[in-house]
Structure 1
Amino acid sequence: MTSVGLPSFANDRLDEFIQKAKDFAFTHGLVRPIKDDVINKSVVTHNSFMLAPSPIPRHLFEKLKEAQLDFNKLMYLVSQDYDFICNVLKSVVKYDEFTRNLLKIYHKVHQKETKDRGTLDIIRCDYMLDSNEQKFKQIEINTIAVGMAAGAARMPLLHRYTLRLAGMYKEANQVPDNPSLEGIATSLVRAWEVYGQPNASVLLVTEPADLARINHRHIEFSIHEINPRIPFMKMSLGDIGMRADLTDDQQLRIDGCEIAVVYYRTGYKPEFYKTKVEWKGRLLAEQSCAIKCPSIGGHLAGTKTVQQAISEPGVIEKYIDDPEAVVRIRNTFCRLYSLNPGPKGDHAADLGIENPEMFVLKPNREGGGNNLFGKDIKEKLIELKGSPERATFILMERVEPVKINGYSVKPLEPVTLREMTYELGIYGATICNSNGIIHSLQIGHLLRTKPADENEASLSAGTAVNDSPFLVS
């Protein structure tokens, strides 16, 4: 597959097209802060992006969108299954202090019988297009701090512009709209309405040094476009720990203001909890009746160990009684292997040691950048041989992705034609109350494209760039 538009871009007007695309990004909010500008917080550069959109088969794209509603339901029901999550993680928490601390909060919330007014799950299922089977295979489900929606929502505008620059006016219509930002904002507003107190605030929880602040502002401004009367707050876990308290009826109050929705854009890595104050803030929020996005159960449902357990025979059927939905879900799965102590785990470890190039070794926690590949898999599994600590990892089949050719445009870097691969994420949102699911939607997508020789598709780390699907028959 070749990135659409290359014959038109690969000429003496390439530099002109690149500069116009950069200026389009600047004038349409496709920007991010400069990391070193910690004082003024006013210097930005453009997001990294593909100059042309990447081809994706339309029928496969539509299948993933359809399956997202199934995943919405599945992950919500898993997040509510206290016994299942505790049982799956019991081998992990012996050696993973971070997951152990999260599970302690889960226990306390369960024992206190916190009276949630509802839950909000915003998740993203990530896939790669397998070059051998020509189908998308799921490589991850993200359940906390699901980001990048603001940039993703604006990429279709940029790519339709670059295609028109190249004279491809009709083809520009093959870049689909991306409602990801609007979908997240609308879901937060609906959760606020479910909470039912008009003076209560939506709280976005972020890092003290918020490098994603522009992305977060897009969400805040989108909420205000929908309902300008919704009070909006933004603070860190440490701020909550120092300034929040719970009322007798489990309201979360910060500086006297009641919080309706707690939207986590942080909290998924150990380094986000530098002191006991951050852990106190997380516990206060989780023990409150505020709607959490996600709840502590939703966060734990996104751990790799739980995702592997979901793939085991009969587990999906425990939660989903529609056979067609079960098939839609299972058809996306990569082969996942538990590394728990015992014969099955030993066999999986041997597979990884003997054929490390065929697998990815994933630690339990979320956050990206922690996976092991190639010889590092072999070395790690040999190091952990016979150790129960091996249970803090899972082994996943490695997808051989479809390759394309394209130009990636990064700040202050030369633009060259490179062989690339992409990763497609589908966003979903689910709002539930005591009566069950009351709102479930597929709310957009995220396409990230990286050089074919890179293992991780991370926008924040700079290995990947923003992209859009170009839907082909």
Structure 2
Amino acid sequence: MARGIYPEYPPDLAGPNRQFLIESLKDWSIAHGLAVRPPASFVSTNVDPEGVLAATAPVTLFPSLFPKSCFDEGLRIQLAYNKLYAAIARDEEWLVPIIEEIAEIDSFVSDLLKVHLADLSLGLFRSDYMVHVDPSGNSSKPGIKQVEFNTIASSFGGLSVGVSALHKHLLAIGAYPPETKCIKEQDALPASRSVPSLAIGLAAAHTEYSPSTNNPSCVIFLVQYPERNVFDQRHLEYRLLETHGIRTFRLPFDRIAQDTELTADRTLLYRPPHAPDAPFEVSTVYFRAGYTPSDYRGPEDWNARIHLERSRAIKCPSVLTQLAGCKKIQQVLATPASPHLARFLPDKTEAASVAATFAPIYPMDVSEAGRQARTLATDPEKAVHYVLKPQREGGGNNVYRKSIPGFLEDLDESAWPAYILMEMIEPPAQRNVILRNGEIQKGGVICELGVYGVCLWRHGGEILKNWEAGYLLRTKGDQSEEGGVAAGFGAVDSVCLVEV
């Protein structure tokens, strides 16, 4: 944790004021779909065997403070990041050899690499950042440093709109006390527009697709089942139907083979289980599953993924786009003195803006940079400044600080190259209050800004659409290294912009 840069915040509430805030928050959240299915530890399956209950999503009681300059930079740079990762996914000559390096020691990456085939590709991306303050005190201004770039299942776009609206509502009804002056500054609470922006991206892909049958068209949400974060996804589904007139269906990953078929020209047909005689032609497959090895139980699931990739349907993402999100790619771009960024962003000003958000990242292989990283990672005194990351999406997979040397000691050295070593980002100290599973948690927190982006491109060709698509703030207790909301570590939040 770096030095503090924020004013004293939030105010302490007690008695009727506290009760009014919490009751207003709970009721507004459920009424507006800011919700999740409760975990079994909160509501047991014996109490709710049909899974009909919902609970308030983990949320902060107050919007968290965030430097306006850092927020503006995160939004501004998203178009460049969209271009960067679309370019990487289109460049098989560059991407595949790098992925093959980790495919030799990571069977999941190896299996993904075997199934790629793409025409048009859609990316609903999210670039995650933390505010970084130089712990030495040499830099007077905070900046943003990228935590990771998500190319598949970039979640919480649905709930981010709700939580920013929630905090505005609590301000409007007087739930925040008068001394909370920073919240009341004009434009201090920017709304997130991720639901309409992401839905427009899916609608653009749907429109770009060329049907080959007389069947009605649809967008498929490929999902895990059961899905606790279903309401986040439903907000996008409802928006597509109500605003764009596009039908969507939720297809559990393990039902691909039963509910879809390919025609001779690779058209993907979906047969709803409730109406199998009325098939739909699938224009777009939006992956909210398939990013973790646990989704692939055996050869039948890998065959199902190949089945989807072979189809004409636009994939969000294609396999190559998913692989572009590997931590290895982030490391190749961000290793100090790396020459690769210029290949994809030839504009020097644009590339410099992106590079300024990189934290130093090193491979764990036997290259010169890798040997340097191994020295850092195995030294208990130096390892406290780093995090070890595997090629995995979702929270709960990283190894932090003093745990790194012991973890590597227990891991066969041949598997070390499957990880990257990243210098820790040092966010400024601040406090907030989180409501999670009915419990109030108060104390120091760390915030992570996610900026969404939409990009539609032709494989091997030009970018057709590219825009920034709203934001998400995730907040966790400062004693938790991991930050995934769905993985059980964080809460959804919104920003209160301040000048620092």
Q: TM-score, structure 1 length as denominator?
A: 0.93
Deviation at 1:40, TM superposition (A): 2.4
Contact 1:2 1:404 in 2 (8 A): yes
* Paired residues for 1:143-154 under 5 Å: 143-154=151-162
Identify the residue that residue 469 of structure 2 maps to in structure 1: 443
The farther-off stretch of 433-442 and 361-370 is 433-442
Equivalence for 1:193: 207
TM superposition shift of 1:344: 2.8
CA 1:411/1:238 → structure 2, altered by over 3 Å: closer, same or farther?
Answer: closer
The CA distance in 1 between the partners of 2:260 and 2:298, in whole Å, is: 16
**Equivalent residues in 2 for 1:44-193 (5 A)?**
44-106=54-116, 109=117, 116=119, 118-132=120-134, 133=139, 134-164=142-172, 165=174, 166=176, 167=178, 170-171=184-185, 173-193=187-207
CA distance in 2, matches of 1:309, 1:244: 38
Shift of 1:209: 1.4
Match of 1:273 in 2: 296
| Secondary structure of the structure 2 residue equivalent to 1:216 | helix
- SS of the residue corresponding to residue 445 of structure 2 reads strand
Question: C-alpha separation between the residues in 1 aligned to 2:422 and 2:446?
Answer: 19
Alignment of 1:194-213 (within 5 A): 194-197=208-211, 199-213=216-230
Distance 2:252 2:109 in 1: 20
3-state SS in 1 of match to 2:454: strand
Question: Post-superposition shift, 1:25?
Answer: 1.2
Asked if 1:462 corresponds to 2:488, the answer is yes
CA contact (8 A) 2:394 2:487 kept: no
1:246 equivalent in alignment to 2:262:
yes
Instruction: Specify whether residues 224 and 374 from structure 1 end up closer, same or farther in structure 2 by C-alpha distance, changes over 3 A only.
Output: same
Identity level (%): 28
Measured after TM superposition, the shift of residue 244 of structure 1 is 2.5
Residue number in structure 2 paired with 1:6: 10
* Rounded Cα–Cα distance in structure 2 between residues aligned with 1:239 and 1:26: 30
Query: Relative to structure 1, is the Cα distance of residues 411 and 81 closer, same or farther in structure 2, using a 3 angstrom cutoff?
Result: same
TM-score by length of 2: 0.88
Query: Out of 394, 399, 406, which is 2:425 matched to?
Result: 399
Structure-2 separation of matches of 1:378 and 1:128? 25
Contact 2:34 2:231 in 1 (8 A): no
- For residues 327 and 96 of structure 1, what CA distance do their matches in structure 2 show? 32
Distance in structure 1 (CA, Å) of the matches to 2:146 and 2:225: 33
CA RMSD of aligned residues (A): 2.0
Structure 2 gaps, min length 5? 272-278
**2:235, 2:282 → 1: CA distance?**
20
Q: Does 1:42 align with 2:52?
A: yes
Letter in 2 for 1:143: T
1:228-265 deviation line (CA, Å, top 9, x unaligned): 2x221111222112332322222112334321000000
Counterpart AA for 2:158: A
Task: State the shift of 1:207 in Å.
Answer: 1.1
Question: d(CA) in 1 for partners of 2:192 and 2:463?
Answer: 24
| Of 292, 295, 305, the match for 1:282 | 305
* Alignment-derived partner of residue 315 in structure 1: 340
Relative to structure 1, is the Cα distance of residues 416 and 142 closer, same or farther in structure 2, using a 3 angstrom cutoff? closer
